[in-house]
Amino acid sequence: MQPAKISIINITSYIGTELARLLYRHPRVQIISVTGRSEMGKNLSEVLPHLSEIDLPIEAEPKEADLVFSSLPHKASAEALLPLIERGIRIVDLSADFRLKKAESYQRWYDFTHPAPEFLKKAVYGLTEFHRPQIAHSSLVANPGCYPVSALLALAPAVKERLIHPDIIVDSKSGISGAGRTLSLGTHYSEVNENVSAYALEGHRHLPEILQELKALSPDFSPSLTFLPHLVPMTRGILSSCYAQLVEGKIASSQKGIAKLRQIYRDFYRGEPFVRIVEAPPQTKQTWGSNLCLIYPTIDLRTNRLIVISCLDNLVKGGAGQAIQNMNLMLGFPETMGLEALAIYP
Amino acid sequence: MQPAKISIINITSYIGTELARLLYRHPRVQIISVTGRSEMGKNLSEVLPHLSEIDLPIEAEPKEADLVFSSLPHKASAEALLPLIERGIRIVDLSADFRLKKAESYQRWYDFTHPAPEFLKKAVYGLTEFHRPQIAHSSLVANPGCYPVSALLALAPAVKERLIHPDIIVDSKSGISGAGRTLSLGTHYSEVNENVSAYALEGHRHLPEILQELKALSPDFSPSLTFLPHLVPMTRGILSSCYAQLVEGKIASSQKGIAKLRQIYRDFYRGEPFVRIVEAPPQTKQTWGSNLCLIYPTIDLRTNRLIVISCLDNLVKGGAGQAIQNMNLMLGFPETMGLEALAIYP
Amino acid sequence: MQPAKISIINITSYIGTELARLLYRHPRVQIISVTGRSEMGKNLSEVLPHLSEIDLPIEAEPKEADLVFSSLPHKASAEALLPLIERGIRIVDLSADFRLKKAESYQRWYDFTHPAPEFLKKAVYGLTEFHRPQIAHSSLVANPGCYPVSALLALAPAVKERLIHPDIIVDSKSGISGAGRTLSLGTHYSEVNENVSAYALEGHRHLPEILQELKALSPDFSPSLTFLPHLVPMTRGILSSCYAQLVEGKIASSQKGIAKLRQIYRDFYRGEPFVRIVEAPPQTKQTWGSNLCLIYPTIDLRTNRLIVISCLDNLVKGGAGQAIQNMNLMLGFPETMGLEALAIYP
Amino acid sequence: MQPAKISIINITSYIGTELARLLYRHPRVQIISVTGRSEMGKNLSEVLPHLSEIDLPIEAEPKEADLVFSSLPHKASAEALLPLIERGIRIVDLSADFRLKKAESYQRWYDFTHPAPEFLKKAVYGLTEFHRPQIAHSSLVANPGCYPVSALLALAPAVKERLIHPDIIVDSKSGISGAGRTLSLGTHYSEVNENVSAYALEGHRHLPEILQELKALSPDFSPSLTFLPHLVPMTRGILSSCYAQLVEGKIASSQKGIAKLRQIYRDFYRGEPFVRIVEAPPQTKQTWGSNLCLIYPTIDLRTNRLIVISCLDNLVKGGAGQAIQNMNLMLGFPETMGLEALAIYP
């Protein structure tokens, strides 16, 4: 059988290189072209030596393919993808450009006028665990942001089962690769090493995405959600700590309640290959390089408060791995294909 | 004028070495003896080469001194200090053994029967900003835990001024030195590096300390507080992110409200040498090696929620620096003496 | 076809867990038993959550298998393996116990009397690139130390082709996982982070191994080799910088000479799947998680001195990956099977 | 007594900020002006919050002062300093612009035509331990590079006493702050973290500086020196490992020889406040934030080879601290003034 042909737009981003790393070992696809403005004309092996087995030139435009990944920044991605969308080519967009359903959200949160609002409704939000059937039949999948994957998977069972009040705090800690490969003082080694900081206190762009999907899960639930991201000195990993008050009468604030809570979470994710409800608080390192999201729900018995900890690798389940999971569905491959590697530890 | 004589019990802990480092440069004191069971009989310079200017043997028992610091673990500290307390020697205890007012709290949280409950009331909780006059006249000061310093300084103005509802989340991120110098898999380099984790989800020992002091600040305020500590891969630093719902009618959820909030915080800490209300979200690195606590209060305008970020160096303002600040008061020295160094950056 | 049955002795070491991670994805083998004294009786998933797909109990003794890996410490490994060796079971020993040909070397360098000197000659030194045919036919392979792999691959072409004088310096920089999972102050996070140190200045145990193999390569070459290892604050990776004076008349100290040198290196390793001569100075991160050794030979034209930089992942090509490469040969599988993953970057 | 007035050119470099941090606590000086092109017009506290006690605007030009520090990059520094030199103002230049005695070296190594070659002879190379009397009487001191300080202090006794052959290897490992605050992919957190690399294999700019000073120490000694710098993932610190063959008949290759060697080193640096010959291999962390250089000379008894390990903080003894040590001499202050802080550990 012929492998499916894949093109990657903007290979030189961290998400782009991670797509290439994972796809290189996928038994049913072949990367046929990669693009990257800044390094155009060079060979992939010169620019990204760890990918030198993939012998391809970096080009200006993606070749015609069965599926195209874009890891361009927002706005640039929509612009680059529009002609491909119009030709009906299957796309997984790793930018934010097709995640939000309302065009005005782009004005408000991303400060640009969306060039193709007509496709926002058509695009499917690519969190596989939420929208598996639609993804399988879509030709335009908007891969979720790294923080939203960690927050949504942690909160979904509690929201869906209406276990919690709408006052929710999501306090996320991310490795620095989430900030991408673009140079800035905020990602300069000596500034970031031995340092923790909170950022985007006025509102992070991933917030509308989290709200949109929580509301979709439980339409008459109106979350009042504070999402605060933090940078911690490591390359990969997101740990989100989620807090919300338990609704009276659903789950007891007791050891038995905790057991019931875990069972609800396990039931919710039964059969999911990449979500695991764990018995002890997880660590980001347990997901390093893998497509797993580890989730630990518990109750603060003193305050009757739900706490959920979730961990994932921001470049895999929070990025390229999630995108390949979607690709597998879109191309009819087993969902886990190419994503079976265990985490690298330590 | 004769320098005051100082002894340090358990010099080989990280807090102990940090006390020595800071006291060595203090113009009015002299370290006359240091103890440490595991390295007894050796010279300080052999065991802790960065302290080799301090030419002292490590002994079994502290010499008679004007003030004694103990950085022993809980229980061991109370036992070692009892004879000194009875002789009326001035003490700053960096363990938890005299922080809590109720003896039964030690049974519950620290799993031992307190050997000297009669001294719990006598001891003063050594957060200088809260109990300055009492500390100055006390001979037994219980230096606060590192997390409580960061949480209490962040929350005090809001609690005191009754700006917030009692549902409070404190999500803290700490460097690894907070776990001390005792070996464990959880502080083994390869396990901790490139890793973030939450711990003590069933309740951390610093929680009763935070609650006790918040209640003391505002007696009819009954906080329902979830405190969740996290380990991040760096040596020093604590960043606490505190969340609570604003009470209606006190502070508007607006830019003007934010300005008013900052003013309340600035007023609360006016004249405090080591607390600074900052204009931009602080980073732990800005406090590295210094005795400062940086505090950034703001409002999540979408949810009408107070967010306060506080940063400090867990071994300085969260430990040895705070202890020396107390010592200065107890011995009648200027409060900032020996603590004036700026943070080392980067 | 039945998969080959594999047992791993001492799964809880870092090399042991890395073997399990890699073997789990190997298409022709099945791990049938794992041992580990300290965690005996528990399930693998409890102790090493990232391996929870491997559903095995940790036992006291390895099950009968087609091949057994031991990652016990030296001395313990020989003792545990002796009965298996006598039964003729195929073994890859990752300890030092069968690497050296002379029994007295164990007395001198490892401070114990070798329990089975008769097997030292029988054992094959498991650096595949040096002893491929013997490994394929051996039932006792002594997997090389992590430093020796990096030094030997870097120096072999120069020594074999007699390009250099015998005065050789190997200055190696290793990540902390090379020190294993056993607790010590020297691997305690806060001691190691933000720190570089040299160690074993009186002679590291990997020195006799390097000398033995260099002499075997070129019997009348008597290296006068200083090997100095350093610890750097990262989890994985070894970079070795090797220095030696060029012999007159072999390679010119010129750009042309450098080109010739590279060609000699490329020719020497032609066809080797896991050694790559690179065109730019390599970085350890380019080998993270992969079985590659990257080698960059050049000449310091001012001093007519050979410099060779080599990089590898100490737990893969310097440990578990090298061991599986040997296993593949011993069991008749393609040499690269299960080892094809690209490095994870960043 | 009036404090001496100090200006700092290019405060926003890491060396500039470190000068400010250290000078702020110096009892005899006052920083009166700071410059910095990119942040001109802002207040220091906005740009560098850890320096907010220093309440100064960032200006375009330095104010007239008793002494001016420049931490501009090479070429820019000479250009900015020329008018000040001509006016006879005392200067410590932290760039390379006045370190080399020969104007053509700037063409060759720094690729520019030196704008003021007439001042090269006048300038004194500011390694205090080598040129103390000249520095005290100079008005133009060229502060040494960070690597040269570590290499020269390590090698000086051996070269001066003619203990070694001229074939010398200096293998240095540096923290990332040595690369400065200018953004580049090579200092981008995710690229550098968990990574070690060698760089400048064709010759680093600090090489001519090391050679010039070694020759000055021992005029008929012609070192054939290979200097290879490496980047390791930490913010501060340099460890240099120096190797050379011992000359016959000077020092025996024995324990006694090692003792004699240490004595020679101790004698050489007797009375030096910032150089310490240590009894155990030093670690960079033992110098973190301090002006110390720790030196450990030993002999590889198997190969009759000298090994010297030196450690320092590249921003202090390798930069700002060394510069202040020079300033103290130039202004007639005690040499150690303002530099007495112990290292921060851990």
Which class for C34: exposed (0-12), middle (13-18), buried (19 or more C-beta within 10 A)? buried
Q: What is the pLDDT of residue C267?
A: 98
Q: Which chains touch D (3 or more CB pairs under 8 A)?
A: A, B, C
d(CA C14, CA A163): 41
Name the residue in chain C with its Cα closest to that of A339.
Answer: C25
Say if B234 is an interface residue toward chain C (CB within 8 Å).
Answer: yes
* Interval A128-178: pLDDT, tens: 999 999 999 999 999 999 999 999 999 999 999 999 999 999 999 999 999
Angle at B240 between CA B235 and CA B244, to 5 degrees: 170
**Alpha carbon distances (Å) from B201 to A100, A305, B9, B155, B281:** 34, 11, 31, 21, 27
Check C190 against B235: CB less than 8 A apart.
yes
Return the SS3 of C246.
strand
**C281 at the A interface (CB within 8 A)?**
no
Amino acid identity for residue D147 in this structure:
Y
Q: C192 with C231: CB under 8 angstroms?
A: yes
Residues of chain C with pLDDT under 50: none
d(CA D59, CA D89): 19
Burial class for D106, CB neighbours closer than 10 Å (0-12, 13-18, 19+)? buried
Nearest Cα residue in chain A from D14? A190
A235: closest CA of chain C, how far (Å): 7
CB spacing of D189 vs A176 below 8 angstroms: yes
Q: What is the share, in percent, of chain A residues with pLDDT greater than 70? A: 100
User: C219 burial class (0-12, 13-18, 19+ CB within 10 angstroms)?
Assistant: exposed
Q: Nearest-CA distance from C79 to chain B in Å?
A: 27
C-alpha distances out from residue B319 to A246, B13, B126, B178, B336, Å: 36, 11, 10, 9, 15
- Is C285 in contact with C299 (CB distance < 8 Å)? no
**Average confidence score pLDDT of chain D:** 97
Nearby residues of C256 by Cβ (< 8 Å), 6 or more positions away: none
Chain D residues touching residue C318 (CB < 8 angstroms): none
Question: Is the distance from CB of C110 to CB of C117 less than 8 angstroms?
Answer: no
Angle, CA of D67, D71 and D77, to the nearest 5°: 90
β-strand C305-312 against C238-246: which pairing, if any?
A: antiparallel
Give chain A's mean pLDDT.
97
Asked if the model's pLDDT at residue B242 lies above 90, the reply is: yes
* Cβ distance of C50 and A342 shorter than 8 Å: yes
Of C213, C6, C26, which Cα lies nearest the Cα of C105? Answer: C213
- List strands edge to edge, sheet with D293-300: D197-198, D224-231, D164-174, D238-246, D305-312, D293-300, D275-277
| pLDDT tens track for D131-172 | 999 999 999 999 999 999 999 999 999 999 999 999 999 999
- In angstroms, the CA D241 to CA D169 distance is 8
CA distance A317 to A238: 10
- 0.90 exceeded by the pTM? yes
Continuous segment of H or E residues that includes residue D212: helix D207-217
The reported pLDDT for the residue numbered C172 is: 98
Give the strands of the sheet with B90-93, arranged side by side: B58-59, B29-35, B4-9, B67-70, B90-93, B140-142, B124-125
Assess whether the previous peptide bond of B62 is cis (omega < 30° from 0): no
A253 touches chain B (CB under 8 A): no
Task: Identify which of A268, A238, A260, A257 has the alpha carbon closest to the alpha carbon of residue A305.
Answer: A257
Cβ of residue A27 closer than 8 Å to a chain C Cβ? no
Q: Catalytic site residues of B?
A: 146
DSSP labels, B310-328: EEE-TTIIIIIHHHHHHHH
B50 in contact with chain C, both atoms CB, cutoff 8 A: no
The whole-angstrom separation of Cα C18 and Cα C316 is 7
Q: Is C232 on the interface with B (CB under 8 A)?
A: no
C187: tokens are: 């691997």
Alpha-helix residue ranges (DSSP H) falling in C52-143: 76-86, 103-105, 128-136
How confident is the model over A32-47, as a mean pLDDT? 95
C-alpha distance from residue B299 to each of A147, B248, B304, B338 (Å): 21, 13, 6, 36
DSSP type of residue D109: I
Q: D121 pLDDT exceeds 90?
A: yes
Among D67, D82, D80, smallest CA distance to D117 is for D82
Q: For B161-216, what is each residue's pLDDT tens digit?
A: 999 999 999 999 999 999 999 999 999 999 999 999 999 999 999 999 999 999 99
Q: Which residues contact B75 (CB under 8 A, 6 or more apart)?
A: B97, B110, B112, B115
Q: Do the Cβ atoms of B181 and C192 come within 8 Å? A: no
Q: Are the beta carbons of B344 and D194 separated by less than 8 Å?
A: no
Contact assessment for residue A26 and residue A338, using Cβ atoms and an 8 Å cutoff? yes
Q: pLDDT at position C277, please? A: 98
Q: Contact A49/C194, CB-based, under 8 Å?
A: no
D192 in contact with chain A, both atoms CB, cutoff 8 A: yes
Q: What are the structural domains, with CATH classification, of chain A?
A: 4-122 (3.40.50.720), 147-314 (3.30.360.10)
Chain D CB contacts of B236 below 8 Å: 346
Instruction: Reply yes or no: is the peptide bond before residue A346 cis, omega within 30 of 0.
Output: yes
Tell me how many degrees the CA angle B146-B147-B150 measures, rounded to the nearest 5: 95
CB contact under 8 A, B342 and D53: yes
Residues D221-245, mean pLDDT to the nearest whole number: 98
Taking an 8 Å cut-off on Cβ atoms, the answer to whether D290 and B25 are in contact is no
Check pLDDT > 90 for residue A1: no
Q: Is A338 on the interface with C (CB under 8 A)?
A: no
B281: nearest CA in chain D? D49
Q: Find which of C108, C109, C146, C171 to mutate to test the D interface (most D CBs within 10 Å of its CB).
A: C171
Contact between chains at A188 and D189 (C-beta distance less than 8 A): yes
Collapse the DSSP code of A31 into the 3-class scheme (helix H, G, I; strand E, B; otherwise coil) and give the result.
strand
Check B237 against A346: CB less than 8 A apart: no
Q: Which residue of C has its CA nearest to D203?
A: C300
Catalytic residue among A146, A242, A293, A311: A146
3-state SS class at B195: coil
Beta strand B140-142 pairing with C197-198: unpaired
On whether any CB of chain C is under 8 Å from the CB of B235, the answer is: yes
Q: Which chains touch A (3 or more CB pairs under 8 A)?
A: B, C, D
Q: How far apart are CA B272 and CA B109, in angstroms?
A: 32
Across the interface, whether the CB atoms of B285 and A195 are under 8 A apart is answered yes
pLDDT (tens digit per residue) in C236-287: 999 999 999 999 999 999 999 999 999 999 999 999 999 999 999 999 999 9
Contacts of residue C191 in chain D, CB cutoff 8 Å? 285, 346
Tens digits of residue pLDDT in D199-220: 999 999 999 999 999 999 999 9
Question: How far away is chain D from the Cα of B64, in angstroms, using its nearest Cα?
Answer: 26
How crowded is residue C303: how many other Cβ atoms within 10 Å of its Cβ? 21
Q: What value does the mean pLDDT take over residues B63-83?
A: 97
**D196 in B contact zone (CB under 8 Å):** no
| Span A198-226, pLDDT tens digits | 999 999 999 999 999 999 999 999 999 99
The pLDDT value recorded for residue D1 is 79
Please give the Cα distance from A307 to B227 (Å, whole number): 11
Instruction: Give yes or no for C282 touching A (CB within 8 A).
Output: yes
Catalytic site includes residue C146 = yes
pLDDT digits (tens, 9 = 90+) for D285-311: 999 999 999 999 999 999 999 999 999
Per-residue pLDDT, B1 = 79
